[in-house]
Structures are given as C-alpha cells and as structure tokens.
C-alpha cells in the first residue's frame, strides 16, 4: 500500500481546504469544536449539510448516479481528515451513511427516487428503530409486532435509544412479521413516517444531561407495504447489510486530531510535579500509546475502505474496526478528562454545543465558564463515549462475530 500522496491527491487536498476556509463560518467551526458526542448540534449539522449538498459533497460515499462522488480511497480520507482538522460539524449518519445504502441496495426504483434526493437535501431526516427494551445486543429477539392487514402492516410495540427521534420525520424500523422458524427469520425492514397517527416519543435524559436518545411507542401504526425495504420476513438481510456501514467509516482522523489537541493543551497544563503535564512520564506514555493506536487504526481503515472500493464486503473487519475505534475513543476521552484537571469536573454544558437539549440545566446569568471551553467539553465527551462500546452491537457481540468468522470457533 502506497501511503504517499500523489500530485492529484495534493491538489484535491488544496481544493478541499479552500472550500472549508470559504464555507465554514465561525459558528459552524465552533459547533464542530465543541461537540460533546458523535452527534453535532442539530441545526449546525443541517446547515453544514445544505452547504455540502450545494457543492455535491454531502454524500461522497454514495454511488455517483445517486449523488455520490467519484473519489478514490485517498480522496475520501483527505476529505474526512481535512473536515475534522477544520472543525466541521458532523452530519447525522442515520440517513446519509446508513439507511441510504440500504435503500440503494434493496430499494425499489420508486423508493430510491423518493428518499435518496430528499435525504440529500435534509427534507427527509431519519432516525433508527432497532433496539427494544428487551432486545439490544441480541437484536434478533425483537418483538415489535407488524400484523398484515391488506396493503398495510399494523405496527405495535416500542423502540428505545432512538437518537434524534424528536428531530426526525422518518424512522427505519425492524419489526416482527412472523414468529415461525429461527428468530432471525420473520423480521421485516420498514420505513415509517413519524407523523403517522399512533406514534409517541418520550425523551430519555442521558448521563451527560442531554436529551439525544428517546423511546418511541407505536400503537396500531399503519405502515404501507410499499414502505417495506426488501422482502417481508427477510429484513434481517437488510439489517446486516446496513450494519456494515454503521460500524464502518473513518474514525482515525478524528481521534488523531483529538490526541494532537490533548498534547497541545497538556503542554500548558500543570502536572503533578509543577511542570507541564506533557512532561509527566505516566501521562505522556498514555498519550503516546493512544496516538500510536490511532495510526494503527488508520492503516486498518485503509485496508477496509480499499476492500469496499474494490466491491468486496468487509465482513468481520467492520466488527474489528468497531471494537478498536470505540475502545480507543473511550481511552482518549479518559486522557482528555485527566488533562482537564479539576476544572474538567465542573458541569457547564452552556460552554459546549451538545447534540440535544439539556432541559434540567440553568446556566449562570453572566455565562461564566470555569476554565477553557475544551475543559467543559471533556467530561461530557467522557460520559457520552461510555456508550460507544455498546451501540451498533456491543463489543462483546463483535468479539463473538470475530471468533466465529475469523477464528472458526
């Protein structure tokens, strides 16, 4: 694998930098810099998506015929890294990075024509309806019922940990259409309009105080069969296909930026002996190890993305990247919290740009912040990242997948 940039790659990098310099406003950069989780402030995220869509860069990973970019592997990486370095807010992954690929792979011509252009513009904003109160990592045990009634499926049950359900106008759901056979059989993948009668949303308050996750209740919700993706009773195939995209992606550039930022601030923070924290052997060793691990993760991401670019299914590699990426992210947020020191223990979300509202917090009238903004971000990122090893299939489940697929156990 040649890791040297070609002249064409460097020219593309300069093009991306010029675009980011021109289009990223100070408010958008602040929203990206002060994210408290993998989810940006919703309004900033949508504003940035509109700007990217105008340039044709909102969904570079899509097939070109549906609005994607004819980029090579290096260009995808350069765009991701430069966007992170510039402080661009993240786009919500639910539509562009997740369900859109399932629609491309399994959708009818009518479904593609309706949903894909509207996902790009933001007119259609999806949330994900997978987990249930009794079905999380063992997702195939889900029980939300979908009863056949002529041209419709009548859905009753609930989904939980549904990110941005209050902002979404559509949800992609796994529902139980049959109880015969193995539990992976009889599951159907449905696209549901959130404005359909019978849907109720109840926000969940996270450890960070944010209302990003929700529980969604369905009471005899009628879903046209025209909104089923793939075949009825065969939604597990669609779900597995989508999970490859949910667990994939380029995480290394963001983690590299984080570690470099920690090194920069640690050079000015006092350590245990009174000198700079970065000179403390124990701290610098942890930070160096994390930085080395991000470089290893980067190479593994190269290999996986390269395989996908060649039309291959990454298979178990997506599970490996999910484990490594989320556990490394957790380690880095721990190091950041240590670097933040006592000021990092102060709860001051008003100095951040969280991914959802924080209803039970009243900021000081004068807007006072103890320390710097990054010290206010550190504890919220730490709390939010605890969920990283659970979402998109817990890391314990991913290790089982690797044991079976890679080791034959």
pLDDT 10s digits, 343-355: 999 999 999 999 9
Confidence of residue 83 (pLDDT cuts 50, 70, 90): very high
Residues 247, 319: contact at Cβ < 8 Å?
yes
Weakest mean pLDDT among 55-59, 72-76, 79-83, 151-155: 72-76
**Beta strand pairing call for 228-229 and 187-193:** antiparallel
Confidence of residue 5 (pLDDT cuts 50, 70, 90): confident
Q: What is the DSSP letter of 62?
A: S
pLDDT 10s digits, 259-279: 999 999 999 999 888 899 999
Mean pLDDT of 91-97: 92
Q: What is the DSSP letter of 180?
A: S
Q: Which domains does the chain have, with CATH numbers?
A: 7-91 (no CATH), 126-235 (2.40.110.10), 248-405 (1.20.140.10)
With b meaning 16 or more CB within 10 Å and e meaning fewer, what string describes 378-406?
Answer: bbbbbbbbebbbbbbbbbebbeebbeeee
Length of the chain: 409
Contacts of 356 (CB under 8 A, 6+ apart): 39, 42, 164, 210, 211, 212
Mean pLDDT of 79-83: 89
Tell me how far apart the alpha carbons of residues 317 and 406 are, in angstroms, rounded to a whole number.
Answer: 9
Confidence of residue 364 (pLDDT cuts 50, 70, 90): very high
Give me the pLDDT at residue 262, please. 95
pLDDT 10s digits, 201-244: 999 998 889 999 999 999 999 999 999 999 999 999 999 888 76
Task: Compare 18 and 141 and report the one with higher pLDDT.
Answer: 18
Give yes or no for residue 311 having a pLDDT over 70: no
Give me the pLDDT at residue 406, please. 81
Determine what percent of the chain is predicted with pLDDT higher than 70: 95
pTM beyond cutoff 0.85: yes
Confidence of residue 309 (pLDDT cuts 50, 70, 90): low
pLDDT 10s digits, 116-165: 999 999 999 999 999 999 887 788 899 999 999 999 999 999 999 999 99
């Amino acid at each position: 694998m040649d890791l040297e940039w070609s002249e064409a790659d460097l020219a593309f990098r300069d093009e991306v930098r010029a675009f980011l310099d021109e289009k990223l406003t100070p408010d958008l950069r602040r929203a990206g810099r002060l994210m408290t989780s993998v989810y940006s402030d919703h309004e900033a995220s949508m504003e940035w998506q509109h700007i990217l869509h105008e340039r044709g860069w909102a969904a570079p990973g899509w097939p070109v015929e549906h609005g994607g970019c004819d980029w090579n592997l290096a260009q995808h990486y350069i765009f991701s890294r430069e966007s992170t370095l510039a402080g661009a807010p993240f786009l919500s992954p639910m539509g562009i990075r997740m369900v859109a690929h399932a629609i491309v792979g399994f959708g009818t011509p009518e479904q593609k024509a309706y949903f894909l252009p509207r996902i790009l513009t933001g007119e259609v904003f999806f949330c994900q309806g997978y987990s249930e109160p009794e079905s999380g990592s063992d997702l195939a045990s889900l029980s939300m019922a979908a009863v056949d009634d002529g041209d419709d499926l009548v859905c009753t049950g609930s989904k939980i940990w549904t990110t941005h359900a209050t902002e979404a106008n559509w949800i992609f759901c796994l529902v139980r259409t049959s109880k015969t056979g193995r539990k992976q059989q009889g599951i159907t993948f449905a696209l549901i309009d959130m404005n359909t009668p019978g849907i109720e949303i109840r926000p969940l308050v996270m450890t960070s105080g944010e209302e990003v996750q929700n529980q969604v209740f369905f009471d005899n919700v009628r879903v046209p069969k025209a909104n089923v993706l793939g075949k009825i009773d065969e939604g597990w195939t669609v779900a597995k296909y989508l999970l490859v995209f949910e667990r994939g992606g380029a995480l290394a550039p963001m983690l590299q930026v984080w570690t470099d930022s920690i090194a920069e601030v640690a050079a000015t923070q006092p350590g245990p002996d009174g000198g700079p924290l970065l000179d403390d052997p124990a701290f610098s060793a942890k930070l160096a190890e994390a930085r080395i691990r991000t470089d290893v993760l980067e190479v593994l991401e190269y290999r996986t993305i390269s395989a996908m670019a060649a039309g291959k299914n990454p298979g178990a590699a997506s599970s490996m990247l999910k484990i490594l990426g989320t556990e490394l992210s957790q380690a880095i947020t721990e190091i950041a919290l240590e670097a933040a020191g006592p000021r990092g223990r102060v709860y001051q979300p008003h100095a951040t740009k969280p991914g959802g509202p924080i209803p039970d917090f009243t900021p000081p009238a004068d807007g006072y912040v103890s320390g710097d903004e990054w010290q206010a971000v550190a504890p919220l990122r730490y709390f939010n990242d605890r969920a990283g090893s659970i979402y998109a299939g817990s890391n314990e489940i991913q290790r089982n997948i690797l044991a079976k697929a890679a080791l034959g156990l």
